Amino acid sequence: MRILLDESVPVQIGKALGGHEVHTARGMGWGGFSNGDLLSAAAGERFQVLIVADKNLQRQQNLSDLQLAILELWTNHRPTLERYFPEIRAAVEDISSAGYFVLENPERRK
């Protein structure tokens, strides 16, 4: 799966996604892009999943025609996310179509 990490997502998340092709927005030369420009660029480069920690993205953008899955994480705090690499990987691997998906804090599900 071709995955893009938004600037707000720690690059270490890529470690949770071994076996997938993971890129960062900054690494693609898209640092500082607005959300709309980032979504267009990601779709244009045929990314399948964009991982974000921006809780407003869904309300700020028209995502209806986008051929891209967006996974929203509950935080961008690297040490917290590192504890949940298996859950992040499982959430990505459960995505089978374009759409907006939210990974809630696993601690709240216990």
| Confidence category of residue 109, pLDDT binned at 50, 70, 90 | low
The answer to whether the CB of 53 falls within 8 A of the CB of 75 is: yes
The band of 110, judged by pLDDT with boundaries at 50, 70 and 90, is low
Q: Return the SS3 of 70.
A: strand
Q: Give pLDDT, residue 63.
A: 75
pLDDT, tens digit (0-9, with 9 covering 90-100), for 80-92: 999 999 999 999 9
Distance CA 49, CA 13 (A): 13
- Exposure string of 83-103, with b = 16+ CB inside 10 Å and e = fewer, is ebeebbbebbeebeebebeeb
Range of weakest confidence among 3-7, 42-46, 76-80, 103-107? 103-107
CA distance 106 to 40: 30
DSSP 44: H
| pLDDT beyond 80 at 62 | no
